[in-house]
């Protein structure tokens, strides 16, 4: 035996290496998206009396989620409810009822409450949108997993998505957009029928999440298809027949399933016409595209407030780095028809978001905006121009993903080993994206639900068919206390008022925020806003009884309020002395109404 060698019998066997599961890298990416979404919503986990900064909108969607769960359990009509705006009720199909989110989240809502359900919905919207775009990019457009991961990150967590997620679930929920596009632009095959049915079902689901996103998707898909057809006419002629067949099948499926809900929306009880606010006034400043949003590491409150209509509509704010990077990518990859189509689509919707008059750095220029060309068209006349910029989010995400994939697939240059080129491009992408890194969504305190309401102390005092009236009963577009009470108690009682869009009156379908005004609701709202008790008369007392009779009231409840004492004194004069309860005051009006 040669010295220094071991006998075959004594050689240790090589350790067995288990192959890494193919799904593991994808799971890591999706877990990263979920972790980031949970981090961004961390301000509310475990804090029941905190809401995201646009508190009124969160109250609205908490109520919608609670209503969906209540309708599933009780077997009620999910398109209408008399739990708000009693006795007339609310046409929920004509409001942002997000049944497509609320019904699947029913177990969460029933077990953990409306606030947890809302936070789970926000996490699903952000991480789900990022994951859906990651899957589409990975399967159809890029080979490198890192390229798809970066693209999904942009699509799910861009500043506009974070701004919308804190308030507007129906806008932030874009996880169905990639699968709809995947089926719509699927390569020609023999499964036209199956693809068309799947496309129709996804369209129906999206309609029950948010019709606005569906309209934007249809417009963007049309512009993208037109741009692609102009860039590659031969490919368009090959794929057009299959695309139109799928669209025809999808249209039949969607029309059959949405016919009644859409009739209910536009002709059912409490339907309305027009909008309750001037949608055209919500437009973006041209300078917003290179600015930093509030919810980013470089953001502040001053500049975004100047360049956007409100904190939830910061839908552009891409920063100069990402826009310069996008221009470089378009020039570099211009020969690809998809890149040309994406560039055209992004430019069209960026221009539309500027509204009817161009504004720069907060100043009106007098120059007509491109939106004027389409502002009178059906559906578009009700659209919020600022939201058109959200179409630019996936456009930029896909462009960046294509560029990262191209760099990774490129052959190393003879003079360089290739790694420096990749590092340089990775550095450019990082430099463009890091200033857009989102920060946790800001929260604000909210008055807690009175213990008398939360613990069910009202139940023995409210007969069937009677209501609980919160003070003030109608708040217009402001935060509605009764809506939060109703959501947090699982739609346990009916009440007048609420935060919704409905008709101005029984004979006037013009849209307005909240229920039609009644004398007592106007009076109490003024006291709640100013803290000033006006001079009251016997006529005010008689009108209060008439209004309570209209509302079918059993109890009037005052919870924690900024001007709680003036409100209590006002109601005492109108109805007689109230009695203190856990968390507020109550007036039993069963005998007087």
From CA 78, how far away is CA 63, in angstroms rounded? 13
Q: What pLDDT score was predicted for residue 299? A: 87
Render 5-26 in DSSP notation, one character per residue.
Answer: ---GGGPPPPPP-PPPPTTHHH
Residue 275 lies in a domain: yes
Residue 70 lies in a domain: no
Residue 81 lies in a domain: no
Q: What pLDDT score was predicted for residue 13? A: 61
Which DSSP state fits 446?
-
Rg (CA), the chain: 28
From CA 267, how far away is CA 249, in angstroms rounded? 26
Domain count, the chain: 2
pLDDT(16) > 90: no
Count CB neighbours of 406 within 10 A: 18
Q: Which residues pair with 357 in a beta bridge?
A: 368
Count CB neighbours of 505 within 10 A: 12
pLDDT(273) > 50: yes
Once rounded to an integer, what is the mean pLDDT over residues 317-331?
A: 96
pLDDT, one tens digit per residue, over 505-529 is 888 999 988 888 899 999 999 999 8
From CA 577, how far away is CA 452, in angstroms rounded? 17
Q: Which residues pair with 320 in a beta bridge?
A: none
Name 366's Cβ contacts closer than 8 Å, sequence gap at least 6.
Answer: 357
Kindly state whether residues 161 and 229 are assigned to the same domain. yes
Selection from 536, 525, 547 nearest residue 593 by Cα: 547
The residue among 499 and 329 whose pLDDT is bigger is 329
Mean of the per-residue pLDDT values of the chain: 91
From CA 355, how far away is CA 346, in angstroms rounded? 15
Q: What pLDDT score was predicted for residue 185? A: 92
pLDDT, one tens digit per residue, over 292-319 is 999 999 988 888 888 999 899 999 999 9
Domain boundary residue among 408, 436, 464?
Answer: 436
Q: What pLDDT score was predicted for residue 189? A: 66
Q: What pLDDT score was predicted for residue 514? A: 85
Q: What pLDDT score was predicted for residue 475? A: 65
E-strand stretches of 377-505 = 443-445, 467-470, 501-505
Kindly state whether residues 349 and 279 are assigned to the same domain. yes
Q: What pLDDT score was predicted for residue 592? A: 82
From CA 246, how far away is CA 243, in angstroms rounded? 5
Kindly state whether residues 271 and 362 are assigned to the same domain. yes
pLDDT, one tens digit per residue, over 218-262 is 999 999 999 999 999 998 898 899 999 999 999 999 999 999 999
Kindly state whether residues 168 and 263 are assigned to the same domain. yes
Selection from 390, 361, 383 nearest residue 164 by Cα: 390
Q: Which residues pair with 444 in a beta bridge?
A: 51
Contact present, 401 and 361 (Cβ < 8 Å):
no
Name 73's Cβ contacts closer than 8 Å, sequence gap at least 6.
Answer: 106, 110
Name 4's Cβ contacts closer than 8 Å, sequence gap at least 6.
Answer: none
User: For the purposes of burial, counting CB atoms within 10 Å of the CB of 145, is it exposed (0-12), middle (13-18) or buried (19 or more)?
Assistant: middle
In a 3-state reduction of DSSP, which class is residue 251? helix
Kindly state whether residues 372 and 481 are assigned to the same domain. no
Least-confidence region, from 134-148, 277-291, 327-341: 277-291
Domain boundary residue among 403, 436, 469?
Answer: 436
Kindly state whether residues 308 and 275 are assigned to the same domain. yes
Q: Is the peptide bond before 240 cis (omega within 30 degrees of 0)?
A: no
Kindly state whether residues 319 and 352 are assigned to the same domain. yes
Which whole-number Å values give the CA distances from 485 to 66, 453, 588, in the listed order?
11, 7, 18
Residue 20 phi/psi, 5-degree rounding, is -70, 130
Residue 2 lies in a domain: no
Render 480-544 in DSSP notation, one character per residue.
Answer: -HHHHHHHHTTS-S--S--S-EEEEETTEEEEEESSPP-HHHHHHHHHHHH--PPPP-HHHHHHH
Residue 367 lies in a domain: yes
Helix, strand, coil abundance in the chain, percent, nearest 5: 55, 10, 35
Count CB neighbours of 271 within 10 A: 17
Contact present, 250 and 197 (Cβ < 8 Å):
yes
Contact present, 445 and 461 (Cβ < 8 Å):
no
From CA 100, how far away is CA 178, in angstroms rounded? 17
Once rounded to an integer, what is the mean pLDDT over residues 52-66?
A: 94
pLDDT, one tens digit per residue, over 154-209 is 999 999 999 999 899 999 999 999 999 999 998 876 678 899 999 999 999 999 99
Kindly state whether residues 478 and 381 are assigned to the same domain. no
Once rounded to an integer, what is the mean pLDDT over residues 93-118?
A: 97
pLDDT, one tens digit per residue, over 545-582 is 999 999 999 999 999 988 899 999 999 999 999 999 99
Contact present, 133 and 396 (Cβ < 8 Å):
no
Give the structural domain span for 428. Answer: 24-53+113-436
Kindly state whether residues 352 and 277 are assigned to the same domain. yes
Give 415's pLDDT tier (boundaries 50, 70, 90): very low
Once rounded to an integer, what is the mean pLDDT over residues 126-141?
A: 97
Name 34's Cβ contacts closer than 8 Å, sequence gap at least 6.
Answer: 123, 127
Q: What pLDDT score was predicted for residue 413? A: 53
Contact present, 582 and 450 (Cβ < 8 Å):
yes
Kindly state whether residues 411 and 512 are assigned to the same domain. no
Count CB neighbours of 102 within 10 A: 29
Kindly state whether residues 458 and 419 are assigned to the same domain. no
Residues above pLDDT 90, as percent of the chain: 77
Six token digits for residue 257? 């399933």
pLDDT(416) > 70: no
Selection from 526, 506, 525, 529 nearest residue 516 by Cα: 506
Q: Which residues pair with 91 in a beta bridge?
A: 80
Residue 474 lies in a domain: yes
Residue 374 lies in a domain: yes
Query: With b meaning 16 or more CB within 10 Å and e meaning fewer, what string describes 202-232?
Result: bbbbbbbbbbbbbbbbebbbebbbebbbebb
Residue 59 lies in a domain: no
Contact present, 29 and 134 (Cβ < 8 Å):
yes
User: For the purposes of burial, counting CB atoms within 10 Å of the CB of 2, is it exposed (0-12), middle (13-18) or buried (19 or more)?
Assistant: exposed
Q: What pLDDT score was predicted for residue 192? A: 83
Kindly state whether residues 428 and 548 are assigned to the same domain. no
Q: What pLDDT score was predicted for residue 419? A: 61
């Amino acid at each position: 035996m040669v010295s220094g060698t071991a006998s075959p019998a004594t050689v240790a066997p090589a350790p067995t290496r288990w192959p890494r599961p193919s799904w593991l890298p994808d799971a890591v990416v999706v877990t990263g998206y979920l972790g980031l979404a949970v981090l961004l919503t961390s301000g509310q986990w475990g804090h029941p009396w905190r809401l995201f900064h646009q508190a009124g909108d969160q109250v609205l969607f908490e109520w919608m989620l609670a209503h969906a769960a209540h309708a599933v359990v009780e077997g009620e009509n999910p398109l209408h409810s008399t739990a708000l705006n009693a006795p007339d009720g609310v046409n929920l199909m004509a409001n942002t009822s997000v049944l497509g989110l609320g019904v699947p989240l029913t177990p969460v809502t029933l077990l953990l409450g409306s606030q947890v359900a809302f936070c789970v919905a926000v996490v699903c919207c952000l991480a789900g949108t990022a994951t859906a775009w990651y899957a589409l990019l990975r399967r159809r457009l890029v080979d490198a997993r890192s390229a798809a991961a970066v693209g999904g990150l942009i699509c799910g967590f861009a500043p506009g998505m974070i701004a919308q997620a804190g308030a507007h679930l129906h806008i932030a929920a874009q996880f169905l957009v990639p699968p709809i596009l995947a089926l719509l632009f699927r390569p020609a095959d023999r499964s036209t029928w199956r693809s068309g049915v799947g496309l129709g079902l996804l369209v129906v689901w999206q309609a029950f999440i948010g019709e606005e996103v569906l309209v934007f998707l249809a417009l963007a898909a049309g512009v993208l298809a037109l741009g692609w057809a102009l860039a590659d006419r031969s490919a368009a002629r090959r794929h057009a027949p299959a695309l139109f067949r799928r669209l025809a099948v999808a249209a039949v499926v969607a029309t059959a399933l949405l016919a009644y809900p859409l009739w209910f929306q536009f002709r059912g009880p409490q339907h309305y016409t027009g909008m309750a606010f001037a949608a055209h006034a919500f437009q973006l400043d041209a300078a917003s595209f290179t600015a930093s949003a509030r919810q980013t590491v470089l953001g502040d409150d001053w500049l975004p407030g100047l360049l956007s209509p409100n904190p939830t509509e910061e839908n552009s704010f891409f920063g100069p780095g990402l826009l310069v990077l996008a221009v470089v990518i378009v020039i570099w990859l211009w020969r690809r028809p998809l890149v040309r189509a994406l560039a055209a689509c992004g430019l069209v919707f960026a221009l539309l978001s500027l509204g009817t008059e161009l504004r720069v750095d907060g100043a009106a220029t007098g120059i007509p905006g491109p939106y004027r060309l389409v502002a009178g068209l059906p559906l578009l006349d009700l659209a919020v121009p600022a939201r058109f910029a959200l179409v630019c989010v996936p456009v930029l995400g896909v462009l960046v993903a294509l560029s990262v994939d191209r760099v990774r697939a490129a052959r190393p240059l003879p003079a360089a080993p290739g790694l420096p080129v990749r590092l340089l491009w990775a550095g450019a992408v990082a430099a463009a994206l890091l200033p857009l890194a989102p920060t946790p969504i800001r929260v604000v305190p909210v008055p807690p639900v009175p213990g008398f309401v939360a613990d069910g102390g009202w139940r023995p005092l409210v007969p069937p068919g009677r209501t609980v009236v919160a003070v003030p009963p109608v708040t217009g577009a402001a935060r509605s206390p009764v809506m939060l009470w109703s959501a947090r108690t699982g739609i346990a009682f009916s009440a007048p008022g609420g935060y919704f869009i409905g008709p101005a009156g029984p004979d006037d379908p013009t849209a307005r925020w909240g229920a039609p005004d009644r004398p007592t609701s106007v009076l109490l709202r003024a006291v709640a806003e100013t803290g000033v008790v006006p001079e009251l008369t016997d006529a005010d007392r008689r009108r209060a009884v008439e209004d309570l009779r209209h509302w079918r009231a059993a109890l009037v409840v005052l919870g924690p309020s900024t001007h709680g004492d003036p409100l209590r004194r006002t109601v005492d004069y109108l109805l007689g002395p109230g009695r203190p309860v856990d968390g507020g005051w109550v007036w039993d009006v069963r005998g007087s109404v």
